[in-house]
Chains A and B, each alone.
Chain A
Amino acid sequence: MAREAYITGVGQSEVGVRLPRHPLLLTVDAVNQALADAGLTLDQIDGVFSFPGKAQGYLAFSPVGTDDLIEVLGIKSKWQMGAMEQPAQLSAIGMAAWAVKEGICRHVICFRTVYEAGGMANPAEYMPLQQKTTSGSSQWTSPFWATSAACWVAQYAARHVHKYGMTREQLAQIAINGSKNALLNPNARAITKEELTLDKYMSARMISTPLCLYDCDRFSDASTVIIVSAGDALDEIKATPVRIAATSGSVDRYSWDQVEWSAAYDAGPDLWKNTDYRPKDVDTVQFYDGFAFLPITWLEGLGFVEKGEGHKFIEGGTRIARDGELPLNTAGGQLGAGRLHGFGFAHEAVTQLRGAAGERQIPGDPKVAVATSGGGPMAAALLLARD
């Protein structure tokens, strides 16, 4: 029988804005928490996986690499991987799952550390040098002041407005739902201090139509760790394991303006190919919301609703609330709990499936969750199940 892969430990450092603690120490904090959660010690870890690896030219974006952890934690690693060129953030966890299924590793640390707020306070150390020219994919957008991904996602969102009639009141529900859930998430205290009302949303400063300020996530400093273990190593684990029931990813073209629809519409259907679970079996979804429109693409791409219907599903916010039919981003998402860059969604999915989410725990003994990451041309999804 084929070996399975499980998430057996989760950890998260303090999440803040301009934290004084060094990002390597934030990462070690999250590792220690995940190890304690799983009931493992460092000498049992034999692999380290990350997205996107250490970003030497832009350390605020990714200040810690797999080499750093292997070095400072004394890990005897059998396999490691830290790369930007993979389907999306959560595909690092997907690859870790393959490593343990293949028998190469038994217990693997997967991590994502961000220092994008603290880094801006220390630009000499953490921010990229000012370049005289632009090259690579950014040369096709930045010369036209489409500087931020906000401008790129806005153009996908604007099409939903134009073609399908999405309204700002409907889109608002992603950020409003996120703020409500974040208020019940102790790790989000530095990011969300009050509930976002529709009035406040509607009067917010526009960034790039239809996206306003509250539709964009906020730079934060944090590390999130997910431990992936082989199914035949579970007797070493004390926490409730959560099975990685399926993974999928997609990059059709690495270009934000040459793809017709975002890669979520490819990775979505693929997630269901290697599992008997179907969307109706899913108890909660944790969808990447670096920009508020992206969860709508995942709702549609994964087949929870038809293409062009996502904004109608979230209207009024009741279906996606914690007590609704499909609770969304129950820890607040990135809009409510900070730009953890993908890994926060896996962390929260596991927390909910274990019934360990405290005040924000969804009802009904949830057993199946989907976590996703990416937007535009990149996408990766995980289907998680508690057996």
Chain B
Amino acid sequence: MSSAPPSSPPPRPVPKLDAENRAFWTGGAEGHLNIVHCGDCGQYTHPPRILCRHCQSENVAPKAVAGTGVIDTMTVNHQPWAPGLEVPFVIARVALDGVPGVFLTTNIVNSPVDQVNFGDKVRVTFEQQGDIFYPLFEKAN
């Protein structure tokens, strides 16, 4: 009887790409964190839409933002929501620098969970899985 194969972590759920979200989920291929920006009023719309949620202009396009931010709130998740999911890990809401009013739910990686705190400065790091580049964040210093 052979021993059980080593367990591998489950794949991340895959967003279904469409006209509105494609630039967000694939921008990491060029190292870009793309957020929809309005060419008329200058404000950002997230989740991405084909019109500006502030002024309803259709003159919108994805814009690469700085990719840095601050942890606005966070939780240490202990529940394995899928078989083989390694816990604990940090789920955080990151307030993006230069993108007022936009938050991203993400994971804070490359630090032990007890070293991650409210107010920490973080920067984006992309994790590729197929066509999708997941914008995860790590501590900036």
Decide if A and B are genuine partners.
yes
Residues of A within 8 A of B (CB): 132-135, 137-148, 150-151, 154-159, 162, 205-211, 255-258
In whole angstroms, how far apart are the Cα atoms of A142 and B12 in the complex? 8
In whole angstroms, how far apart are the Cα atoms of A206 and B80 in the complex? 11
Question: Is A209 touching B13 in the complex (CB atoms < 8 A)?
Answer: no
- Specify the chain B residue showing the minimal Cβ separation from A163: B118
In whole angstroms, how far apart are the Cα atoms of A141 and B13 in the complex? 10
Q: A257-B103, A258-B46 are in contact. Are A144 and B91 (CB under 8 A)?
A: yes
Q: How far does the Cβ of A342 sit from chain B's closest Cβ, in whole Å?
A: 24
8 closest A-B pairs by CB: A133-B16, A147-B81, A154-B75, A135-B16, A139-B15, A206-B78, A142-B13, A209-B76
- Specify the chain B residue showing the minimal Cβ separation from A150: B79
Q: Give the residues in chain A near B51, CB-CB below 8 Å.
A: none
Q: Does B102 contact A (CB under 8 A)?
A: yes
In whole angstroms, how far apart are the Cα atoms of A158 and B90 in the complex? 12
Question: Is A143 touching B46 in the complex (CB atoms < 8 A)?
Answer: no
Q: How many residues of B contact A (CB 8 A)?
A: 34
Q: How far does the Cβ of B114 sit from chain A's closest Cβ, in whole Å?
A: 11
Q: Does B74 contact A (CB under 8 A)?
A: yes
> Of residues 122 to 141 in B, which have CB atoms within 8 Å of A's CB atoms?
132, 134, 136
Question: Is B89 touching A145 in the complex (CB atoms < 8 A)?
Answer: yes
In whole angstroms, how far apart are the Cα atoms of A209 and B76 in the complex? 5
Q: What mask results when residues 81 to 102 of chain B are scored 1 for a CB within 8 Å of chain A, else 0?
A: 1100100010111000000011
Q: What mask results when residues 21 to 64 of chain B are scored 1 for a CB within 8 Å of chain A, else 0?
A: 10000000000000000000000001100000000000000000
Q: Does B73 contact A (CB under 8 A)?
A: yes
Q: Give the residues in chain B near A151, CB-CB below 8 Å.
A: 75, 77, 91
Q: How far does the Cβ of A134 sit from chain B's closest Cβ, in whole Å?
A: 5
- Say what secondary structure dominates the interface of chain A: mixed
Question: Is A208 touching B15 in the complex (CB atoms < 8 A)?
Answer: no
In whole angstroms, how far apart are the Cα atoms of A162 and B89 in the complex? 18
Q: Give the residues in chain A near B12, CB-CB below 8 Å.
A: 143-145
Q: What mask results when residues 101 to 114 of chain B are scored 1 for a CB within 8 Å of chain A, else 0?
A: 11111110000000
- Specify the chain A residue showing the minimal Cβ separation from B101: A258
Question: Is A145 touching B73 in the complex (CB atoms < 8 A)?
Answer: no
Question: Is B78 touching A155 in the complex (CB atoms < 8 A)?
Answer: no
Which of A134, A144, A206, A208 sits near B105, CB closer than 8 Å? A144
- Pick from B18, B79, B81, B104 the residue with the most CB of A within 10 Å: B79
Q: Does B66 contact A (CB under 8 A)?
A: no
Q: Give the residues in chain A near B106, CB-CB below 8 Å.
A: 144
Question: Is B75 touching A158 in the complex (CB atoms < 8 A)?
Answer: yes
Question: Is B107 touching A207 in the complex (CB atoms < 8 A)?
Answer: no
Question: Is B79 touching A208 in the complex (CB atoms < 8 A)?
Answer: yes
Question: Is B103 touching A139 in the complex (CB atoms < 8 A)?
Answer: no
- Specify the chain B residue showing the minimal Cβ separation from A211: B75
Which of B15, B85, B93 sits near A257, CB closer than 8 Å? B93
Question: Is A139 touching B16 in the complex (CB atoms < 8 A)?
Answer: yes
- Specify the chain A residue showing the minimal Cβ separation from B17: A133
Question: Is A162 touching B118 in the complex (CB atoms < 8 A)?
Answer: yes
Q: Give the residues in chain B near A142, CB-CB below 8 Å.
A: 13
In whole angstroms, how far apart are the Cα atoms of A171 and B107 in the complex? 25
Q: How far does the Cβ of B34 sit from chain A's closest Cβ, in whole Å?
A: 14
Instruction: Pick 21 A–B contacts, CB within 8 A, sort by A.
Output: A133-B13, A134-B13, A137-B47, A139-B16, A139-B21, A141-B105, A144-B106, A144-B134, A145-B81, A145-B82, A146-B91, A147-B81, A154-B75, A155-B74, A156-B73, A158-B75, A206-B78, A207-B79, A208-B75, A257-B93, A258-B47
- Specify the chain A residue showing the minimal Cβ separation from B104: A257
- Specify the chain B residue showing the minimal Cβ separation from A205: B78
Besides A155-B93, A162-B118, A206-B78, 9 new A-B residue pairs in contact (Cβ under 8 A), listed by A number: A135-B18, A139-B13, A139-B16, A141-B105, A144-B91, A144-B107, A155-B92, A257-B104, A257-B105
